[in-house]
Amino acid sequence: MSIPSRRAKDRIVTALLYSLMAAVILLLAGVLAFIVKNGLSALSWDFLTQPPRDAMTRGGIYTPLIGSIQLIAVAMAFAFPVGVLTAVYLVEWARDGLFTRTLRLAVRSLAGVPSVVFGLFGLSFFVVVLGFGASLLSAGLTLGCLVLPVIVGASEAALSAVPRDYRDASYAMGATKWQTIRKVVLPAAFPSILTGAILAVGRVAGETAPIIFTGAAFFTPRVARSLLEPVMALPYHILVLATAGTAIDETRPIQYGTVLVLLVLVLGVTLVGVLFRAKLRMEKRR
Amino acid sequence: MKDQSALKADRLPRALIAAVATSGLAIMLFILFFLLKESLPALRETTLGELMTGAFWYPTAEPAEFGLLPLLMGSVSVTLLTSALALPFSLGLAVFLAEVCPSALREIFKPLLEILGFFPSVVLGFLGMVVLAPWLQERFSLLTGLNLLNASLLMGIMILPIVASLAEDALSSVPRDLRDASYALGATGFETTWRVVLPAALPGILQACLLGVMRAIGETMVVLMASGGAALIPRSVMDPVRPLTSTIAAEMGETPIGSAHYHVLFFAGLLLLIMTLSINVGALWIERRGRKWRT
């Protein structure tokens, strides 16, 4: 092939790839604009602070909003310590043996388990066998299991990135391994671990399938006051209003409003994580 | 002697942390155990052959029919169509980000792509119902716009950021020397990408595609809301389908615990788990092969 035609081909492909990226950005902008435009009219202070009324055809989303926050709290209370300690073990202590390899394989497989299968597991284990019933506790723990591999992965990367010098310096001063981990390695890795956890919160907030039969309620008259009560949750509330309500078309404004609030919650949390990570990277580069 | 006691003091935290670390393994084993335990009784109600080849899914009829074939075909068809739509697009994006895009722009585009990846699936499903479905229905004068194509388009949006970012990592980890050597021979940017960088990154790219496919098989909310929910073997992309995931999500809530229907739904979950775990193992295998092949 002649050189000009090869160059032309190169230009065409480059233009094509630019248009792919442009298409994605347009899509993202279009979707966000559509949701904001339709959801904004439903938003008000009352929408956020009033529970749903009249068979969920009026009122606000106070109960599902608080329910979602409670679910995040339970899930992270379980997944954060367990995930970070698992990563500590894998990075600091694990030798390449059968146990370590099995553990890594298990965590990796866990990351690929479909969310609805987590729901089935939560139903049979937390709800039935442990007897927690369909509750905040069951649903929160199920979400915690789902997000565990995300936290392990992020913490592993964070711990591995702590320079060897830090550890050596600590040992040279006579510290034991555990003292070194606790006082040197974990504090150094903590900002990155936290970033991973923030991104995990974004994931937990939007999940629906694992909670449908482990504790998310169609409707509850009030916010759950104990771990053993069922909760409403924003993503499930959207599903219910959009597919199973008695007045699907009349409640469209509420649906758009709920979608907007969920999106602001998820993307807001995610954005904090992404910005925080960018800041960390800039600091590291200096 | 003080050193000795300090080392001993290390043993307890180490043992405790090792114990906590085992929970990841325990959860995975528990998932396998409970899915097997709750799904095997299904074989008492019906046979494996009937479950896998039965063409009718009437779980609440008298007598009930538990044919998983239409649900399985639903899952397979959505996954195939999603892959056909989204994988080429994702790889194009990955090439753009890794090879073409100026690095200043990349710092903006990558977070944007990441944000798309954090969209809750229930929100995408909702958009499928209120935007895509009416449009499809009108444009192609269909009875309903909730169908295979609708769900696959949305699912494509879901897996796009995942596949693109993993594939971009694979492309970026190809050593610069290879590109420089290609340019030194007079190749254009496209020729270098196509003949040098892509082949070198192939294991990582395959892995990215497999993980995207795995995500598509297991995704629930999009298909629950946008795929139409008819338990039929689809004959065209405009037919409604009912994949395994959405069937479980839609029916488990109303099924008495311990009934035949309950156990069959667990069996459907087991099938999903087997499919995703095998893809995971495949991805792992490619990773190992890729590493060996490179050294």
Burial class (CB in 10 A: 0-12, 13-18, 19+), B180: exposed
pLDDT given at position B3: 57
| Percent of chain B predicted with pLDDT > 70 | 96
| A178, A166 contact by CB (below 8 A) | no
Tokens of B220: 């629930």
* Shortest alpha-carbon distance between residue A70 and chain B (Å): 18
Structural domains of chain B, ranges and CATH numbers in brackets: 48-294 (1.10.3720.10)
pLDDT given at position B205: 95
| A57, A51 contact by CB (below 8 A) | no
Q: What is the pLDDT of residues A237-283, one digit of tens each?
A: 999 999 876 778 788 889 999 999 999 999 999 989 888 888 888 88
Structure ipTM:
0.92
- Provide the pLDDT confidence category of residue B60 given band limits of 50, 70 and 90: confident
Q: Give me the residues of B, 73-132, that contact A with CB < 8 A.
A: 89, 92-93, 95-97, 100-101, 109, 111-116, 118-123, 125-127, 129-131
Q: For residues B194, B195, B198 and B200, what is the CA-based torsion angle, rounded to 10 degrees? A: -170
Does residue B1 surpass a pLDDT of 60?
Answer: no
- C-alpha–C-alpha distance, residues A67 and A136, integer Å: 8
| Percent of chain A predicted with pLDDT > 90 | 69
Position A268: which residue type?
Answer: G
Average confidence (pLDDT) over A52-64? 84
Q: Across chain B, what does the average pLDDT equal? A: 91
Q: From the list B7, B38, B121, which residue is nearest A176 (CB)?
A: B7
Helices (H) and strands (E) in chain B, counts: 15, 2
pLDDT given at position B61: 84
The secondary structure of residue B254, as a DSSP letter, is G
Largest CA distance in chain B: 86
Q: What is the pLDDT of residues B213-266, one digit of tens each?
A: 999 999 999 999 999 888 889 999 999 999 999 999 999 988 888 899 999 999
pLDDT given at position B78: 96
Q: From the list B7, B23, B257, which residue is nearest A128 (CB)?
A: B257
Q: Give me the residues of A, 41-70, that contact B with CB < 8 A.
A: none
Average confidence (pLDDT) over B36-54? 89
Fold (CATH) for A46-285: MetI-like fold (1.10.3720)
b/e code B90-104 from CB counts within 10 Å (16+ = b): bbbbbbbbbbbbeee
Tokens of B167: 């594939």
Nearest partner of B101 among B159, B171, B160, judged by Cα: B171
* A112 at B interface, C-beta within 8 A: yes
Q: What is the pLDDT of residues B97-114, one digit of tens each?
A: 999 989 889 888 988 898
- Provide the pLDDT confidence category of residue B155 given band limits of 50, 70 and 90: very high
Q: From the list A86, A112, A179, which residue is nearest B276 (CB)?
A: A112
Peptide bond before residue B63 is cis, with ω within 30 degrees of 0? yes
- C-alpha–C-alpha distance, residues A102 and A148, integer Å: 16
Map out the domains of chain A as residue ranges: 3-40, 46-285
Stronger pLDDT, A244 or B281, i.e. the higher one: B281
Tokens of A227: 């771990």
Partner-chain contact A117 B272, CB within 8 Å: yes
Q: What is the pLDDT of residues B179-191, one digit of tens each?
A: 999 999 989 988 9
* B10 at A interface, C-beta within 8 A: yes
Q: What is the pLDDT of residues A130-189, one digit of tens each?
A: 999 999 999 999 999 999 999 999 999 999 999 999 999 999 998 988 999 999 999 999
pLDDT given at position B143: 86
